[in-house]
């Protein structure tokens, strides 16, 4: 059976550049904290990767704190910045939503943070704040007004954290233009290995380590660094930087899928479709057919998609993102996420349309 992988927002296939860098690093025998020859070699490889990650987001290398992934980086940002009340958008990833008690900033029906509400909430309490707003939503692909939110936050003496996990490698990134004080990255979303990520935080920003030990990562994250994972991350960032300007080209496949699927089922709903969104992401609902049913039927036909976020231990549950957008529960429970990538081709879209069309035909027959 031919397989069509359309779940790139969950994880991207490992880039060959990353695999090669990791293979070389696995042959090294040296702790980056050791001062002997092997240790110095490992440290050079680590710092070269740090520079590659920093270059992708236009940050100084000293701002990169390597972590075990995006979840830990989000936790470090929101719990490592102490003494501030936390404001997060209603559509944040669970790793942000569960990091610490927070006030929820609503979003519009189009899935964009309500900036007027953010300003009211910042003005209502004089205590210093930390605002967390993702750069693009992992389920709908809708791009968020991070630069505008950062300006509001800074005007009220607040800091801004941006979860950019889904955007890295898909859109050009520059910390300075965004105005973010902290930014989260994850290697496996852009073709690096799973189990490694980074928090980008200015070296002068007070950041309390959640994991203490040997003082690694300039005292911000203790523990021996995952050298093979980190060099794979760096190689993936370097490769992604070379391709990012052309990534928007995947939108023609996304749009073709959207046109063909909604032609089959006119009652289907596209969430966030009238907003600026990631070129690779389509959030589609088929009222009356649970998301789990669609995911399983497509999987049996060799097409891999997901229902909402894929970071919930295999659970299929109603999307809190669509809830926040005011989508009725029955409709939200029918939404699937289709996400494309650099190697997606027309044959993958054909297979998706054929499998989803067959599911729709069965549904119509059963309803007759």
CA distances from 1 to 246, 302, 303, 344, 351 (A): 30, 7, 10, 17, 11
Q: Write the CB contacts of 16 (distance below 8 Å, at least 6 apart in sequence).
A: none
Indicate the DSSP class of residue 360: H
Catalytic annotation present for 311: yes
Phi-psi region of 145 (alpha: psi -120 to 50; beta: other; left: phi over 0): beta
- The two tokens of residue 308 are 């909402």
* Alpha helices (H) in 244-344, listed in sequence order: 251-264, 291-300, 320-324, 329-332
Q: Number of C-alpha atoms within 13 angstroms, CB side, residue 206?
A: 4
Q: Could you give the strand order of the β-sheet that contains 85-89, starting from the edge strand earlier in sequence?
A: 64-67, 197-201, 182-186, 159-163, 129-132, 85-89, 103-105
CA distances from 329 to 214, 218, 290 (A): 48, 46, 11
> Are 62 and 247 contacting, i.e. CB atoms less than 8 angstroms apart?
no
Q: Number of C-alpha atoms within 13 angstroms, CB side, residue 332?
A: 17
Choosing from 29, 162, 237, 311, which is the catalytic residue? 311
Catalytic residue numbers, as ranges: 311
């Amino acid at each position: 059976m031919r397989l069509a992988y359309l779940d790139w927002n969950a994880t991207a296939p490992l880039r060959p550049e990353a695999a090669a860098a990791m293979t070389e690093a696995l042959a090294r025998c040296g702790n980056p904290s050791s001062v002997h020859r092997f240790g110095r070699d490992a440290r050079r490889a680590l710092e070269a990767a740090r520079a590659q990650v920093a270059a992708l987001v236009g940050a100084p290398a000293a701002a990169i704190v390597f972590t075990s992934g995006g979840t830990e980086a989000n936790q470090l940002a929101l719990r490592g910045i102490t003494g501030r009340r936390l404001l997060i958008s209603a559509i944040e990833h669970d790793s942000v939503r569960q990091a610490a008690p927070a006030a929820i900033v609503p979003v519009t029906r189009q899935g964009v943070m309500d900036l007027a509400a953010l300003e009211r909430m910042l003005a209502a309490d004089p205590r210093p704040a930390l605002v967390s707003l993702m750069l693009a939503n992992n389920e709908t692909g809708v791009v968020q007004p991070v630069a505008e939110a950062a300006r509001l936050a800074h005007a009220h003496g607040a800091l801004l954290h941006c979860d950019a996990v889904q955007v890295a490698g898909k859109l050009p990134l520059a910390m300075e233009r965004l105005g973010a004080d902290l930014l989260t990255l994850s290697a496996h979303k852009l073709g690096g290995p799973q189990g490694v990520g980074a928090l980008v935080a200015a070296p002068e920003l007070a950041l309390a380590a959640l994991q203490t030990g040997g003082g690694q990562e300039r005292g911000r994250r203790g523990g021996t660094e995952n050298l093979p994972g980190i060099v794979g991350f760096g190689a993936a960032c370097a490769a992604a930087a070379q391709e990012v300007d052309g990534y928007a080209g995947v939108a023609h496949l996304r749009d073709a899928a959207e046109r063909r699927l909604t032609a089959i089922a006119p009652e289907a709903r596209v969430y966030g479709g009238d907003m600026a969104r990631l070129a690779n992401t389509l959030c589609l609902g088929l009222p009356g057919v649970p998301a789990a049913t669609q995911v399983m039927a497509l999987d049996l036909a060799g097409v891999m998609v997901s229902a909402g976020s894929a970071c919930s231990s295999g659970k299929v549950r109603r999307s809190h993102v669509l809830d926040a957008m005011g989508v009725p529960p029955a409709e939200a429970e029918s939404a699937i996420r289709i996400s494309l990538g650099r190697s997606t081709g027309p044959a993958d879209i054909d297979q998706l349309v054929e499998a989803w069309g067959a599911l729709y035909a069965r549904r119509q027959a059963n309803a007759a």
